Structure 1
Amino acid sequence: MKYFGEGLSEKHKQLNSIIRQSNKIEQAKEIFLEIHASLHLSKISGTRPNEVDSLINDLCDNEYAIMPTSKDETIAWVMWHIARIEDIAMGILAADGDQLFNESWRQQMNVSITDTGNAQTDDEIMNLSKNINIEELLNYRNKVGNRTREIVSSLTQDDMKRKVLPKAIEKILCEGGVTSQQDSIWLLDFWGKKDVAGILLMPPTRHVMLHLNDCCKWKEYIRTRNKFFRS
């Protein structure tokens, strides 16, 4: 069921169809930025209030740390997960540079992990969700979103076709962006087969769309049910 992002899938298909065409680089970047604006708080792109504002702005801290059913995660975990993946994928893979996350951000957010959280158990997800500083988590995601827009605005057609570099994949592992656990390290193989266009089509767009849809579904569930799997 669709809870978030009406029409975004169609825009994403359009982006996919032109993103590697040399004569449509500016159009592709424009569509990317339009999609991306819908996946972050409106203040990131300066647009009118959007669905992310509606999702986030009235959430209570305790609602971030509820696991609705045994098949779900939490909204806090999703915000951490999508922010970390966008930071890593855009900063290290797309820009061939650095991630924003560092020890200072780790302390500000009050987290013990540095990776994307892919391999976390339910207990670990709940521990992260109950202890993370939500305000700083959202600040971090905002910074990541702003930096993504800067990176994409400066990309050339040659950049779009550039393959992800092996040194970038190694850097992610060395900096703790993923762990050696099977449910985490597979990301390196997945990303390593991409070009920059392929990165833009998943971590900062399609991937976020799917997770925000889950968050909107969970928010509705949390506010209409009395019993949850974990809280």
Structure 2
Amino acid sequence: MESKGLLLDAFGRIRETVEATLNGLDDEALVRRPAGTGNSIAWLIWHLSRVEDAQVASAAGLDQVWTSQAFAGRFGLPLTERDTGYGHSSHQVDAVQATPELLLEYYDAVHRQTVGFLKTLTDDDLDRVVDKRWDPPVTLGVRLVSTIADCLQHVGQAAYARGLNLQGEG
């Protein structure tokens, strides 16, 4: 298997889990915060979508789907267009509200852009430095793996929160 096949599989697993997590949830379940202070499913799915969108778009030299496909306006969140959720306060977490359909539509658009970019890659492309602010500088391969890791963590948290919702806890 070529590296891009492995990356496509990993990002595909994120997409499958996003869809399974959102399937059948109502708006109330999406914004319920485990133990009253944990991150809501809506925030977690929005955040992982923003992370993948921002990281892949930057590494690929593409516009973020969030702005280029007008999702920022459609979500209508009281946040800046560049906000990805990093360091959000409890109030900001509460502000992220959307329907499961809109959350999935946004993630699917991000996923399509990610897949389109990944299909163009060769193994040599993964050694290209995409961020010189770190020591050592970050390569495309490292950036993609760190994005996968972050997104898998958040989609796992969202799936866990879904389980709590279905049990009537949280």
Range of TM-score over shorter length? 0.7 to 0.9
Check if 1:97 corresponds to 2:50: no
| Structure 2 CA distance for partners of 1:133 and 1:222, relative to 1, 3 Å | closer
Check if 1:222 corresponds to 2:161: no
Q: Is contact 2:3–2:123 with CA below 8 Å preserved after alignment?
A: no
Sequence identity, in percent? 21
Aligned residue type for 2:159? C
**Cα distance in 1 for residues equivalent to 2:23 and 2:92:** 26
Q: Deviations over 1:25-74 (max 9, x none)?
A: x6211111112111104xxxxxxxxx443322111111110111256201
- Structure 1 spans left out of the alignment, 5+ residues: 1-25, 42-50, 167-188
Matched ranges for 1:181-200 at <5 A: 193-200=137-144
Structure of higher RCO (CA pairs closer than 8 Å, 6+ residues apart)? 2
Q: Is contact 1:109–1:134 with CA below 8 Å preserved after alignment?
A: no
Select the residue among 195, 200, 209 that pairs with 2:152: 209
SS at match of 2:155: helix
Q: Is contact 1:165–1:192 with CA below 8 Å preserved after alignment?
A: no
SS at match of 1:164: strand
Aligned position for 2:44 = 78
Q: Give the number of equivalent residue pairs.
A: 167
What CA RMSD, in Å, does the superposition of the two structures yield over aligned residues?
A: 2.3
Give the TM-score normalised by structure 2. 0.86
Alpha-carbon deviation of 1:219? Answer: 1.1
SS at match of 1:154: coil
Q: Is contact 2:31–2:42 with CA below 8 Å preserved after alignment?
A: yes
- Structure 2 spans left out of the alignment, 5+ residues: none
Q: Is contact 2:50–2:84 with CA below 8 Å preserved after alignment?
A: yes
Check if 1:66 corresponds to 2:29: no
Give the TM-score normalised by structure 1. 0.65
